[in-house]
Amino acid sequence: MARATAGRSPSALAGPPTRDSYTVGQLAAELGVTTRTLRFYEEAGIVTPARTGSGSARVYTARDRARLVLALRGKRFGMSLAEIREIVDMYDAEPGEAGQIRRLLASLETLRADLLARQSELARTLAEVDDVSRRCASRLDELAAAPAAHAPRRRTSAPTPATGPRSGRVTAGAVARGGTARASTAPPSPASGAKSR
């Protein structure tokens, strides 16, 4: 059995309902949320759906739908759960819907001022990003147009000294063949010094 709405029609802020009562699946589909989200707001006290005779299935009324619409909208606006509950509960207490709307208007003005401040900050940050992007692109163009002379030169290796028997002392065989003896670059060994005596 659907619960009575205590003589009140749903808040006009929530838009017209499509039916008098909803199952959890029907309401979740209409609001575009998961059934887990509906159960969260039930645990938070935003809605209190009725139960069927067996007590296992939830039945939501048009009033529950209106409260959920306001709660979901408040969440999108960045309101806390306490603020959402305050606005939603005003509908069922004095000063009623008029007080609910006035409280929502005050919250929306605060929210609007905050959004405008963030919008201004985002615009400044975006302008800075664009400026740095332009500088980076300009620098890349300069680097691409730089002459090849500015490119790093390849290092050439130094000539290595010759090695082997021809670079050292002139051998006896070379002298015997009539070659010109050159000064030995190696120091004389002790044995050769002894023979010269």
Cβ contact 80:44 at 8 Å: no
pLDDT bin (cut points 50, 70, 90) of residue 26 is: very high
Rounded-to-integer distance, Cα 104 and Cα 113, Å: 14
pLDDT tens by residue, 76-113: 888 889 888 888 887 666 666 777 778 778 888 888 89
**In the predicted structure, residue 144 carries a pLDDT above the cut 80:** yes
Q: What is the pTM of this model?
A: 0.52
**Whole-number pLDDT of residue 19:** 78
- pLDDT tens, position by position, 148-160: 545 566 666 666 6
What is the arithmetic mean of pLDDT over 106-127? 90
- Strand, helix or coil at 5? coil
The chain-wide mean pLDDT, for the chain, equals: 76
Higher pLDDT, 4 or 134: 134
- Average pLDDT score over residue span 107-124: 89
pLDDT at 4: 38
pLDDT band at 7 (very low <50, low <70, confident <90, very high): very low
Nearest-angstrom CA–CA distance, 156 and 163:
21
Q: 11-25 in b/e burial notation, b at 16+ Cβ within 10 A?
A: beebeebeeebbebe
Return the percentage of the chain with pLDDT > 70, whole number: 61
What is the pLDDT, as a whole number, of residue 98?
A: 78
Could you give the 3-state DSSP secondary structure of residue 58?
Answer: strand
Domain 12-114 has CATH 3.40.630.10: no
Residue-level pLDDT at 2:
37
- Locate the domains of the chain by residue range: 12-114
Give Cα separations from 187 to 45, 124, 190, 192 (angstroms): 105, 80, 9, 10
Residue 51 confidence class, pLDDT cut points 50, 70, 90: confident
The total of other beta-carbon atoms located within 10 Å of residue 6's CB is: 7
Residue 122 or 188, more confident = 122
Supply the DSSP string of 16-49, one letter for each residue. Answer: --SSSEE-HHHHHHHHT--HHHHHHHHHTTS---
Measured over the CA atoms of residue 24, residue 29, residue 35 and residue 36, the dihedral's sign is negative
DSSP-derived letter for residue 150 is G
